[in-house]
Amino acid sequence: MAALTKEYLVVIKITIIIISSTSSLYLVSSQGQLRVGFYANSCPNAETIVRRVVSEAAASDENTAPILLRLHFHDCFVQGCDGSILIEHDEANTEEERKANGHQGVRGFEIIERAKSEVEAACPNIVSCADIVALAARDAVLLAKGPSYEVETGRRDGLVSNVRMADDMPDVSDSIQTLKSKFFLKGLTHKDLVLLSAAHTIGTSACFFMEPRLYNFRGAPGISDPSINPVFLPELKSTCPQNGDVNVRLAMDRGSVHTFDKQILENIRGGFAVLQSDATLYQDAATRRVVDSYFGALNPFLGPSFEADFAVSMVRLGRTGVLTGSQGTIRRVCKSFN
């Protein structure tokens, strides 16, 4: 009964937060032509098709959820949520965005192509690749036992994909000030920074991203990041030994790698953050207050809901730099310009 009560309250909180911002959501949606149910008449089965393709992919690869969530974030953070990261080499573009250093390890392109192919068969030239990426990320979160939320659709696909436009992707070695600045420039707040970083609650990272933090922190040879809990440091070094295989992967959320929950924030509070960028969230007063807000004495019953707030931040991310109406295009194949 307690578990049911908790789940019920989470649903209530998500509903209240979404309803409370209805007026602002409507303003943005009507002006930018994004809205929930954009394809209700033109392609009513679009979301069902995407959800099925994502579910099938997840059945064969347990990493599907973090893969698709990361793909959506990386797409939106460069030129906006326009599917530019999906473009593969063609004659007119030898330096497409997906080759950027900041996109290392980003995957899931074949899942989006599969979904696009099936949607095209049902509704030719109607649903954008950018919308499919956003829908797939939502479905992936739900598969990982995360919150369900409605995705505004109506995005158009971009006409440019250039590696140089990804120079300002957030990096694991960025300071908290740099991270806040990068998010601010995208119209996202420090609270969005915390919540979207908390997507690291699912998935893994490569030792490649850990070596500087463990063995050359701030350019000091042999020095480890002092924010790492002394109990955790030997564990990290054992998984990622100096001069070892940089492709070895480790869970970004110690103890909860396959379940979408707030354990990642608890780890950050205790010095058990795997990524340096996650650890910095507790080294700034504003972001630390956001992290701590989900662990009050009365939380989760009366305090803010991590799940509800994450859903709101995902909706905000999905509005970043979108193309709508007569802007952009609808690609027939996601990896190629028409």
User: Which residues are catalytically annotated?
Assistant: 74
Q: Is 200 annotated as a binding residue?
A: yes
Distance CA(96)–CA(164), nearest Å, equals 9
Q: Is 82 annotated as a binding residue?
A: yes
Query: Which tokens in the block code for residue 328?
Result: 């952009």
Q: Is 89 annotated as a binding residue?
A: no
Q: Is 75 annotated as a binding residue?
A: yes
Q: Is 170 annotated as a binding residue?
A: yes
Q: Is 325 annotated as a binding residue?
A: no
Handedness of CA 226, 297, 311, 140 (dihedral sign): positive
Q: Is 253 annotated as a binding residue?
A: yes
Q: Is 72 annotated as a binding residue?
A: no
Distance CA(69)–CA(94), nearest Å, equals 26
Handedness of CA 306, 312, 317, 318 (dihedral sign): positive
Residue 36 pairs in a beta bridge with 152
Q: Is 292 annotated as a binding residue?
A: no
Distance CA(100)–CA(165), nearest Å, equals 9
Give me the amino acid identity at 25.
Answer: L
54 touches 140 (CB < 8 A): yes
Distance CA(88)–CA(114), nearest Å, equals 15
Distance CA(120)–CA(46), nearest Å, equals 9
91 touches 127 (CB < 8 A): no
Q: Which residues are annotated as a binding site?
A: 75, 78, 80, 82, 84, 95, 170, 200-201, 253, 261
Provide the annotated binding site for heme b. 200
Annotated binding site for substrate: 170
